[in-house]
Amino acid sequence: MTLIACRDLTLAYDQQPVIAGLTFSVSPGDYLCIVGENGSGKSTLVKALVGLKTPSEGEIRMGEGLRPTEIGYLPQQSEIQRNFPASVYEIVLSGCMAYLGKRPFFGSAERKRAETALNRLNLSGLKNRPYGELSGGQQQRVLLARALCATSKLLVLDEPAAGLDPLISKDLYRMIKSVNRDEKITVIMISHDVQNAVAEASHILHLNKKPLFFGTTEAYLETSLGKLYREGIAA
């Protein structure tokens, strides 16, 4: 069973390849961590996976009935987003937009889904707080809850722990792993924090404008590349 697969994928900007010759697949229940240096094409790949970037060559196929609207996406957060004038509940509820169809308003099913996501990430006590007043770690949990509202199949996360201190990052990774393990939701995540990320991921994709490694975490950590990168020498 394959949930999402890339075959001979090339992604480019202004006809200049950012990634070339990429082939890999993700199965239901996998936890894939994408690592690599800055400029290696990680965020570009994630944008392609969620339909925000069109491949120059090759293809991206979705299986198991997965539709692009069923992917929960957490992009890197901008300064404008950090000060967004909305409550925690409103932001989490907005993750249910794909379920509205032609309806103009959220119904009881969407509100229940938002409440469940808030409870899942220990945010119920903050639901009425303005989002802009929260700490960085709290904001990331809110955005993760929003992404969780959008899917029961696949979460795609672009450096969700960026800018957070180590203890908060570790707690966020623990929550992501819990969602993967307990909710059976597949996770694809970019991370520079390899020490924590590989402790939870089942598979690793290492990029440097082309695939340097794809396989299980155990196999990756046995390679010279994995050992160097985990120690921070190749980061």
Query: pLDDT tier at 229 (50, 70, 90 boundaries)?
Result: low
Would you state the pLDDT for residue 157?
96
Domain extent at residue 143: 78-152
Domain match, 137 and 119 both? yes
Assess whether 231 and 204 both reside in one domain.
Answer: yes
| CA 141-146-148 angle, 5° bins | 90
**Which of 103, 131, 152 delimits the end of a domain?**
152
Pair (90, 119) in one structural domain: yes
78: DSSP letter: P
Strands of 57-62's sheet in order across: 16-26, 4-13, 57-62
Q: Name all contacts of 129-136 with Cβ < 8 Å and 24+ positions apart.
A: 129/87, 129/88, 130/85, 130/86, 130/87, 130/88, 131/84, 131/85, 131/86, 131/87, 131/88, 131/91, 132/82, 132/83, 132/84, 132/85, 134/88, 136/82, 136/163, 136/164, 136/168
136 and 159 part of one domain: no
Q: Pairing mode, if any, of strands 154-158 and 186-190?
A: parallel
pLDDT of residue 175: 92
User: Are residues 132 and 158 both part of a single domain?
Assistant: no
Whether residue 73 lies inside any domain: the answer is no
Q: Are residues 58 and 105 in the same domain?
A: no
Is 226 part of any domain?
yes
Residue 189: per-residue pLDDT: 96
pTM for this entry: 0.92
Q: Is residue 174 a part of any domain in this protein?
A: no
At 6, which CATH number?
A: 3.40.50.300
Residue 232: predicted pLDDT:
62
In this structure, the answer to whether residues 124 and 194 fall within a common structural domain is no
What rounded mean pLDDT belongs to the chain? 90
Whether 107 shows a pLDDT value over 80: the answer reads yes
Q: Please indicate, yes or no, whether residues 51 and 157 belong to a single structural domain of this protein.
A: yes
If one counts the domains in the chain, the total is: 2
Q: What is the pLDDT of residue 102?
A: 82
Mean predicted confidence (pLDDT) in 24-35? 96
Task: Please check the confidence at residue 99 and state whether its pLDDT lies above 60.
Answer: yes
Percentage of the residues of the chain whose pLDDT score is greater than 90: 69
Do 114 and 52 share a structural domain? Answer: no
57 and 83 fall within a common domain: no
- pLDDT of 198 reads 78
pLDDT(52) > 90: yes
pLDDT digits (tens, 9 = 90+) for 156-182: 999 998 888 888 888 999 999 999 999
Confidence category of residue 27, pLDDT binned at 50, 70, 90: very high
pLDDT at 47 over 80: yes
Q: Between these two residues, 111 and 229, which has the higher pLDDT value? A: 111
Q: Is residue 213 part of a domain?
A: yes
Residue 99 in domain: yes
Domain boundary pick from 99, 130, 152: 152
Residues 159 and 234 placed together within one structural domain of the fold: yes
Could you read off the pLDDT of 180-211 as tens digits, one per residue? 999 999 999 998 877 777 788 999 999 998 99
Position 22 pLDDT exceeds 90: yes
